[in-house]
Structure 1
């Protein structure tokens, strides 16, 4: 492999060839898209999640360079067991993608259990996975962590307080952790997608239409109108952004927006 003056790959091996990535929430949606992008750049990928059937189907569909492990990232014993099962693997890329949307309701109508469930997956899961897999990276003096946050952590999104607060927490965790492990050779960054077209946003538009008495199409149009490009981003665009960030060796402690201009507006 050779690089030009900007550090871009110009030939030879794929940019991530020889590296193994671990992607949480990898059985569907963004996790599967991120996995596809990593594979296309030559990485081997281990995907994790709570739904074994979805993990198996995704691993089978994407080919022999994908393996899967069942893991609830909010459960310390599950994460410890995952780390033990991968002790012989050199995990040099960790993508903390697992997350849940949580309730769509005013804060006063949200239960403590619903709040805790969102933070358990979206924040505690990132903490537990980093705590489990960073020691090997820092011992080698190399590695990359990308935490999937959201533009909703940086701007109001009414009736979504648990989700927004959890994603702001991920951004704060990322910035601080980068300062801790950057000097040891490990980069930590977050990627903040805007609304991503797919089942999760379809659910949100249905709920918003029910709440306001509007049509699904009106709820979607009102939301998308806040984007500079007048559209949502796609799952494949998120996957491409992850691999692009991994090609930027000077990137550390950064939060990258991928929102079709949602934040800018």
Structure 2
């Protein structure tokens, strides 16, 4: 595929897998990330920017640069997110709640806010927002994260309605448990909170899917490339799980 793609949190994890998949498909890639070290290890032919998606001025700045350098944007992958606290709701501090929603929900909103005028002017584009299966089912001990991930689904469905008349599509991907460092942190915190071992929590997540396994970053990336392609030209407003088929969102309880 050809095209110009911006991926937030694109220097590592799922975002890096997305960037590599779009690159392999022939797209021009621009990765935005909070981690300068991770950005420095990205391929030299990718455009790179250090941003915090929760700060509007940095989001506005990157879209201004994209317009100046590329003249438009074909795909936005609003992928930036944080795990948030692992605790029962009465133990969640308001600052931890706000920090989680600021990145996961407000960050996606800010990116959409600045991508929308560009895509509307060119009468084309695709927005892919990374949600989570926690945004479909909820999840105990993860109230801020689940609330944010439900929120981005509502945002995406609204964007699909607002932008559809301009030829712009918007969809959400809901990953299940994804192999990698971020999930390892979640496993460790949940194990500590529940008095379980890391492997017990891991196996609980895996056994909650009909395929009995975690997904990998490339599984999410392949779906993002599809949703941005002409093969999905009439796919919009959809919530697509890439999770090995969740059959029990909390098998450990």
Partner of residue 54 from structure 1, selected from 21, 29, 38: 38
Q: What TM-score, normalized to structure 2? A: 0.93
5 Å matches for 1:221-236?
Answer: 221-236=203-218
**Number of residue pairs the alignment of both structures matches:** 245
Tell me how far 1:67 sits from its aligned partner. Answer: 1.1
Q: Give the greater-gyration-radius structure (CA).
A: 1
Q: What TM-score, normalized to structure 1? A: 0.89
Q: Which residue of 2 aligns with 1:103?
A: 85
**What do the CA deviations read for 1:119-168 (whole angstroms, capped 9, x no partner)?**
11111111111111211111111011000111101113110000000000
Query: Partners of 2:191 and 2:163 in 1: how far apart?
Result: 45
Partner of residue 213 from structure 1, selected from 175, 180, 195: 195
Query: Partners of 2:36 and 2:114 in 1: how far apart?
Result: 21
5 Å matches for 1:37-76?
Answer: 37-60=21-44, 64=45, 66-76=46-56
Partner of residue 173 from structure 1, selected from 140, 144, 155: 155
Name stretches of at least 5 consecutive residues in structure 1 with no aligned partner: 1-15
Query: Partners of 1:140 and 1:85 in 2: how far apart?
Result: 17
Would you say 1:86 and 2:66 are equivalent positions? yes
Q: Is the 8 A contact 1:155 1:263 kept in 2?
A: no
**What do the CA deviations read for 1:171-226 (whole angstroms, capped 9, x no partner)?**
00000110001011100111111111111221122222223333221221122111
Q: How large is the Cα RMSD of the aligned pairs?
A: 1.3
Query: Partners of 2:11 and 2:136 in 1: how far apart?
Result: 27
Q: Which residue of 2 aligns with 1:258?
A: 242
Partner of residue 132 from structure 1, selected from 87, 91, 114: 114
Name which structure has the greater RCO, CA cutoff 8 Å, separation 6+. 2
Partner of residue 185 from structure 1, selected from 143, 156, 167: 167
The DSSP-based 3-state class of the residue aligned with 2:241 is strand
Query: Partners of 2:167 and 2:76 in 1: how far apart?
Result: 14
Tell me how far 1:246 sits from its aligned partner. Answer: 2.1
